[in-house]
Chains A and B, each alone.
Chain A
Amino acid sequence: MVAAPDVPRASSDALLNAQPAPKSRNMGQIIRWLVLFFGGILMVMPIAYMISTSLKWPHEVYNVNLIPEEPTIENYTFVLEDGRFYWWFVNSIIIATITTISNLLFDSLVGYTLCKFRFPGRTIVFIAILSTLMIPTEMLVIPWYLMSQSFGWLDSYWGIMFPGMMTAFGTFLMKQFFESVPDDFIEAARIDGLNELQIWWTVAMPLVKPALAALAIFVFLGNWTAFLWPLIVTNSVDMYTIPVGLSGFGDEADVAWELIMTGAAISTIPTLVVFLIFQRFIIRGVVMAGLKG
């Protein structure tokens, strides 16, 4: 999996670089590198300034220097002692985790069934699920709200989570990846006396682990940053997710930008850290999901 995309690269590298390199070509490469390097630094500047400002005392916020003169974690202490961010953080973790697990199970089960079983109604179910990709969430929020109201789901974890428990994107992604699981494996497991549920879980699932990881990243990130629906369905401050909480907090903090930046940093740092640890893996997942999904 890792090596595959690099194979054609190796020969094109030879084409582009391993020739008697003329001086101008080297110069060109250096300029290209420098431009891209400074472009990349500019790209991360908003994140850098967010973190830098969250470590500044209020009087220094108006300074454009990136490195705080006297770094302080006072803002973090203040924001976290307030208690609300703590709850929003916990809410977001719980919601994103449960939704991710649900998607991993159901999207892969449905994807597997549509891929490996032949049964009446298969095409219809597949097309029906695929067609929901065309329906924008924004069209559904009003009916979802009415539904939540009549079932008493407003302002609850379930209310925030239920629309995203399964996704057509995930189902389609998993179906694509189950195509690569040989039918012989499944047939062999059947002869060994495993039932279909066992075959899915013990034979097929371990073979699509990279796809499951890619899906997990997308679903988790999507739910961690989700804003519109949680904004609609939650009323009480205790039920807010981080983005909803941060939005209200920003208004309330008014001109205390160091506190707003601290809140923003608290909501962003976890995903950044996860990314920095699993960088290669996540980028590979994004490419897989983007190209196959």
Chain B
Amino acid sequence: MYRNLTIRQKQIVWAWGFLALPVIFYVVIRFYPTGNAIVISFQNWNLLGDRTWAGLENYKKLWNDPVFWKVFQNTFLYLLIGTPLSLILSFVIAYHLDKLRFMHGFLRMLYFLPFMTSAVAMAWVWRWFYQDVPIGLFNNILAGFGIPQIAFLQSTTNALPSVLAPAVWAGLGFQVIIFMAGIRAIPTSYYEAAKIDGVGWWTVLTQITLPLLRPTIVFIVVFSSIGFLRIFDHVFNMTTNNPGGPLNSTKPLVLMIYDTAFNGFDMGYAAAQTVVLFTILLVVSLIQLRLLRSN
């Protein structure tokens, strides 16, 4: 049978043969669960009892839930602080590191090393740093200078930036490497032309380097925004005694989803939250792509 097929037909048979298992995987493990999550978001279900249709009830409940709005605000705070901060820091580091030859590889390694760590492990390390005197490193250092100690994780205002810091720290090295690759991809003829025209470094930076780095910047902004909107590991591990605390001041959406689904077993409500997360990620990415890609 197979022998009688034309070369083109044989190719089609091979192609679908190769794709059969992966296509089943993507349908069963990606597409079906996506649909399932959306369906469950319109149901009431506590895992044990029956599933009952709830219409928009879960979404209405979410809209009227003050915790959700707090969580919503936190999630965007992580994004709005984390993304610009890591973008600027990583660009400044990459820009200057690119101009150095002496021990370049060693310096690059120092900045990249945190990227190779596990978020859970480092969350615990930073958690220790943040403890009060006489335990925590930061407060011990402050005490050494005679500065009163800071309540990093116990204060509702300090906790969120404190939790965010290790997340920014861990992601920085990756962004530095990507930025350096982007800077190196800029053809030197642009710089040579600028040199001939005698323009200053600031003009070179703002008129040549940054505009030509636009694709790199778009990539880093979208990539890191998605990361900050989905923050979970750091928050969970730095606040295990009261996840998302104090007073929900650090709780991001993913932690609320985890809590609702696997501590509260309110699957319908949790699924509605995941649909909201999905929508946020989609909208934020699309807005960023549109804003940053245009002209």
The residues of A with any CB-CB pair to B shorter than 8 Å are 5, 8-9, 11-13, 15-17, 29, 32-33, 35-37, 39-41, 43-44, 46-47, 49-50, 53, 61-62, 64, 106, 109-110, 112-113, 117-122, 125, 128-129, 132, 134-147, 162-163, 165-166, 168, 171, 195-197, 200, 221, 224-225, 227-228, 232, 242-243, 246-247, 250-251, 255, 257, 260-261, 263-265, 267-268, 271-272, 274-276, 279-280, 283, 286-287, 290-291
Contacts and interface: CB of A to CB of B under 8 A. Distances in A.
Contact of A136 (B19, B169, B281): B281
Given A17-B101, A41-B110, A142-B267, A268 B40 contact: no
Contacts of B96: 32, 35-36
Contacts of A125: 19, 23
Contacts of A12: 188, 191
A142 B274 contact: yes
Interface string B160-200: 00000010010011100110010011111001100100000
A279 B109 contact: yes
A197 B128 CA distance: 53
Contacts of B254: 138, 228
A39 B93 contact: yes
B271 interface: yes
Interface in B105-141: 105, 107-122, 124-129, 131, 134-135, 137, 140-141
Interface string B54-95: 000000000000000000000000000000000000000100
A290 B178 contact: yes
6 contacts: A17-B101, A43-B173, A46-B166, A140-B37, A250-B124, A290-B174
Contacts of A279: 105, 109
Given A243-B121, A246-B120, A246-B121, A119 B185 contact: no
Contacts of A43: 110-111, 113-114, 169, 172-173
Contacts of B4: none
Given A139-B278, A165-B25, A287-B177, A113 B117 contact: no
Given A46-B129, A279-B105, A290-B177, A132 B12 contact: no
Contact of B233 (A121, A132, A196, A228): A228
Interface size class of B (residues with CB under 8 A): 35 or more
A247 to B, nearest CB: 6
Interface in B252-279: 254, 257-258, 261-262, 267, 270-271, 274-275, 277-278
A5 B184 contact: yes
Contact of B277 (A138, A246, A265, A280): A138
A139 B22 CA distance: 21
3 nearest interchain CB pairs? A40-B110, A143-B33, A264-B121
B89 to A, nearest CB: 9
A143 B37 contact: yes
A129 B134 CA distance: 53
A141 B261 contact: yes
B22 A109 contact: yes
Interface of B: 8, 11-12, 14-16, 18-19, 21-23, 25-26, 29-34, 36-37, 40, 93, 96-97, 99-103, 105, 107-122, 124-129, 131, 134-135, 137, 140-141, 144, 166, 169, 172-174, 177-178, 181, 184-188, 191-192, 195, 219, 226, 230, 232-233, 236-237, 240-241, 254, 257-258, 261-262, 267, 270-271, 274-275, 277-278, 281-282, 285
A166 B18 CA distance: 14
A166 B99 contact: no
A202 B177 CA distance: 33
A106 B109 CA distance: 32
B206 to A, nearest CB: 18
Specify which of A221, A250, A272 lies most central, judged by the most chain B CB atoms within 10 Å of its CB.
A250
B25 to A, nearest CB: 5
Contacts of B119: 225, 227, 243
Given A15-B191, A120-B12, A140-B30, A268 B282 contact: no
